[in-house]
Amino acid sequence: MTEPTEQFFLGLETRVWEAQVRGDAAAERELLPADFLGVDQDGFAGLAGHLAQLDDGPITASFELSGARLTRIAADAVLLTYRADSRRPGRTETETVYISSLWVRRDGRWWNTFSQDTPAAPSTAG
């Protein structure tokens, strides 16, 4: 069996981001299991809390993912790390975060079981 590549997992992550652009919780739910855990500057969020961000519609207007790295943790687990530059609806400034996503294969399909977003340090250029 050929193991999925970095591009495969980056494609799955892109689907998550695209769901946020559309405000489509159902599409995001297709990639996140019931035991999903997200960690960001606001703390911890389970699946319901994470999906609730989309209750009022899209939370992302545009995004670009770069610098992806794939670390194989086990036969059925990988860690995808990357940089995301995104813009929220109605805003002009871009936000940069570094993301670590744990993807686990269960019953033949891949699930994003854990994601941690680390905001980039504020730019000191001026």
Domain boundaries, the chain: 6-119
- Determine the pLDDT at residue 52: 95
In whole angstroms, what is the distance from residue 25 CA to residue 98 CA? 22
- Determine the pLDDT at residue 2: 75
- Determine the pLDDT at residue 81: 98
What digits encode the pLDDT tens for the residues 34-56? 999 999 988 999 999 999 999 99
Q: Is 23 left (phi over 0), alpha (psi -120 to 50) or beta?
A: left
In whole angstroms, what is the distance from residue 37 CA to residue 25 CA? 16
In whole angstroms, what is the distance from residue 59 CA to residue 90 CA? 10
> In sequence order, what DSSP letters do the residues of 34-87 get, joined into one string?
TT-EEEETTEEEEHHHHHHTTTTS-S-SEEEEEEEEEEEEETTEEEEEEEEEEE
Q: The domain 6-119 is classified under which CATH number: 3.40.980.10, 3.40.50.10860, 3.10.450.50, 3.40.1280.10?
A: 3.10.450.50
What digits encode the pLDDT tens for the residues 29-38? 999 999 999 9
User: Which portions of the chain are predicted below pLDDT 50?
Assistant: 126
Counting Cβ atoms within 10 Å, is residue 22 exposed (0-12), middle (13-18) or buried (19+)? middle
